[in-house]
Amino acid sequence: MAPNTAQEMFMNHLTISVPTDETQDIKLLLENLSYLPLAIAQAAAYLNQNKTMKIKDYLSLLNAQDIEAFQINSNLAQDKSPTHVIPRSIIMTLLTSLDQMRHGHPLATYFLCLMACVDRKDILLDYLNPWSKEREDAIKLLSDYAVVIRRPAVSAVDLHRLVHLAVRRWIENYESIDKWTETAVRRLVEVFPDHNHGNRSKWRRLLPHARYALSRGSIDLDNDDRMTLIWKCAMSLYEDGQHNEAEGLFVQV
């Protein structure tokens, strides 16, 4: 993105007024963000949440993430392809937002980690937690930080591909991807309906997430939740007429 276009986008995303004496700091910030739209959106979102913060102070927070961003991109334990390298600026803006959310809004961070363990599109809110004001507040916060894209008509959210990948990398480096995958599988078992025809629309939406979770992480093959989820997927696929795929799962149970 051209510098002028990037600056216009940044200013359009801001809901706060920026003093004229910060014009040079804005240019420096955008240069540090490599003029990438996702990084710009997340930077503006962070500043909107921290209305009194100076641009130069936000730049300092970003620069403090530089080493960690390098470490996350260096961790290729799961993804060997060069197409999975994440732009440094996007990791830095995401980590800066994550740091603030972890300390002030742990539920939002918990939800984000759960989202990273399933397919990035059409993540049902019921998978994260039953409805509550706390859930709605956490999802709103993630949306305000430009981390998730809300789909209110279908009670779901999407994650940008690079956000999804970056959060997984962050979990791999500083948490345990296997433990989070186990938690994701447990939640999927709880919300995955039986294969009754009346539940078809819901289990069709959940199948991509179940497949993703089951194919990632190193869950014990005899894990009860894993076996239950495989069985539910197999029965649903069979009910949907996808007999070959169902048989491939039945043999694992």
- Mapping DSSP onto H, E and C, the string for the chain reads CCHHHHHHHHHHHCCCCCCHHHHHHHHHHHHHCCCCHHHHHHHHHHHHHCCCCCHHHHHHHHHCCHHHHHHHHHCCCCCCCHHHCCCHHHHHHHHHHHHHHHHHCHHHHHHHHHHCCCCCCCEEHHHHCCCCHHHHHHHHHHHHCCCEEEEHHHCEEEECHHHHHHHHHHHHHHCCHHHHHHHHHHHHHHHCCCCCHHHHHHHHHHHHHHHHHHHCCCCCCCCHHHHHHHHHHHHHHHHCCCHHHHHHHHCCC
**What does the pLDDT look like over 158-208, one tens digit per residue?**
999 999 999 999 998 887 889 999 999 999 999 999 888 888 999 999 999
| Stretches in the chain below the pLDDT threshold 50 | 77
Our count of domains for the chain comes to 2
Task: Count Cα neighbours of 139 within 13 Å in the Cβ-side half-sphere.
Answer: 24
Residues 156 and 52 in one domain: yes
Q: Is 97 in the same domain as 8?
A: yes
Hunting for tokens 């742990």 — which residue is that? 106
Domain assignment of residue 95, yes or no? yes
Domain presence at residue 124:
yes
What is the model's pLDDT at position 223? 84
Per the structure, the complete domain to which residue 244 belongs is given by: 176-250
Q: Is residue 41 part of a domain?
A: yes
Whether 210 maps to a domain, the answer reads yes
- Asked which of 137, 161, 185 is the last residue of a domain, the reply is 161
Domain for residue 166, yes or no? no
Q: 197 vs 75, 99, 237, CA distance in Å?
A: 43, 44, 11
Q: Do 26 and 7 contact (CB within 8 A), yes or no?
A: yes
Are 120 and 242 within one domain? Answer: no
Check whether residue 127 and residue 33 sit in a common domain: yes
pTM: 0.90
- The verdict on 244 and 136 lying in the same domain is no
Would residue 171 count as lying in a domain? no
Q: Mark whether 218 and 242 lie in a shared domain.
A: yes
Same domain, 144 and 224: no
Whether residues 61 and 102 fall in one domain? yes
Dist. CA 238–CA 111, nearest whole Å: 31
pLDDT of 240:
86
- Report how far residue 233's alpha carbon sits from residue 4's, in angstroms, rounded to the nearest whole number: 50
Kindly state whether residue 193 falls inside one of the protein's structural domains: yes
Does 204 lie in the same domain as 85? no
Max CA separation in the chain (angstroms): 67
Q: Do residue 129 and residue 213 come from a single domain?
A: no
The answer as to whether 194 is a domain residue is yes
Of 99, 128, 161, which marks where a domain is finished? 161
Does 142 share its domain with 188?
Answer: no
Domain end residue (candidates: 161, 191, 225): 161
Is there a single domain that holds both residue 58 and residue 16? yes
Q: What is the pLDDT of residue 77?
A: 43
Residue 29 contacts residue 58 (beta carbons within 8 Å): yes
Radius of gyration of the chain (CA): 20
